[in-house]
Structures are given as structure tokens and as C-alpha cells.
Amino acid sequence: MTTMPGPRPQPIVLTESQREMLVHLTRRTNSTQGLVRRARIVLAAAEGYNNEQIAQRLGINRETARLWRSKWLAKAERLVSAEEVGEEKALRECIEEDVLADAERSGAPATFAPEQICSIVALACEDPRESGRPVTHWSTTELADEAIKRGIVQEISARSVGRFLGRGGSEAPSDTLLAKQRAGSGARGL
């Protein structure tokens, strides 16, 4: 190991079981890239590399190295407890699902309320001629326009309507689920 100047972060001391599990995770074919990277960070930290050296070795940001070193150290007691259970599975789950797990991400809030989606789907079940539309089958564009006209939503794209109905784009496929459903309803005299 070459020494580089820089602050000495708190060292990570791994038990033999922890080291074996981390090495296994880096070699396992079904490990995610993120999990492999985090395991390599911890292994490098345990070898005595500082965060800057780890970042250079692994081609990552120094803050990423610092973050995962800190997370490992913060959960050291939990790791020891999992290891004391004496089952490899307990330690693996602790490492994968707790210590090195990706943080939950909230994502963007939903644009449409479930009630709005249900109203649009219900609208799609109506005959478009009853709404004054000069078509026999709804297109996603016609549905989007009608949903806005009725005040179900303030704005919506044909593509979003298509997603709600289980079909992708704004074009109306020639043999849609709604056309099949309507044809079946007509056969029953509805």
C-alpha cells in the first residue's frame, strides 16, 4: 500500500466472517453494482486506505467513500450482534439489507389522485358519441380532452391517459381493450 498525505479517518476493523462476506458479495454474479462498490469501499477502508485513496482506487467521489465508511462504523454493533447469532444468513442480511443497503428515495409525488384515474378509466368505458364526440372509439387524445372538459383534471397528456389504460402512446391501436369490451357489451344487448 502506498501512503498518501491526508487525514486518517477512523479505521474499520473487520472480523474474518465480515471480510469473507464482503469479498463474497464483490464476486457474486447477482450482486448489484452499487452493493459491490460499497463492499469494495469497506474492504479498502479495512486495508487502511483513507477516503481519498479509496476514491482514486475505485473511481468514485471521496464523499461516497466517507459516507459508506461512516455507515459501516455506525452499524458496527449491529454487525457484531448479527454475527453472534452464528448463522451466515443473519450476517449476510445485516450487511446487504441494513448496513450497505441503498437509502429509500421518495421520488416525485403522484400527479393524479386515484379518484381522477378511476374517473378517466370510467370515462373510457362510455360511448364517446354520448359526449358529443364524432368517433365510435375513444383515442387517448379524445379521452384527455374530455377529462379536461369535464373538470376531472386541469391538464393531462394523451400519453398519461394511455398509461392509465395500459397502452403506451397517444395513438389508438386498432384492436384496443376498450373496443373489445364494448363489442362484448353490445353482444349482451347493453
Per residue in 72-115, pLDDT (tens digit) is 999 988 998 888 888 888 888 999 988 998 877 677 777 888 89
Q: How confident is the model at residue 171 (pLDDT cuts 50, 70, 90)?
A: very low
Residue 37 confidence (pLDDT): 95
- Domain extent listing, the chain: 16-99, 114-182
* Cα distance between residue 137 and residue 35, in whole Å: 49
Contact 121, 153 (CB under 8 A): no
> Would you call 112 exposed, middle or buried from its count of C-beta atoms within 10 A (0-12, 13-18, 19+)?
middle
Contacts of 6 (CB under 8 A, 6+ apart): 50, 51, 52, 53
Contact 170, 141 (CB under 8 A): yes
Task: Name the amino acid, one letter, at 10.
Answer: Q
Q: How confident is the model at residue 164 (pLDDT cuts 50, 70, 90)?
A: confident
Residue 7 confidence (pLDDT): 63
Residue 71 confidence (pLDDT): 94
Question: What are the φ and ψ backbone dihedral angles of 32, each rounded to 5 degrees?
Answer: -70, 160
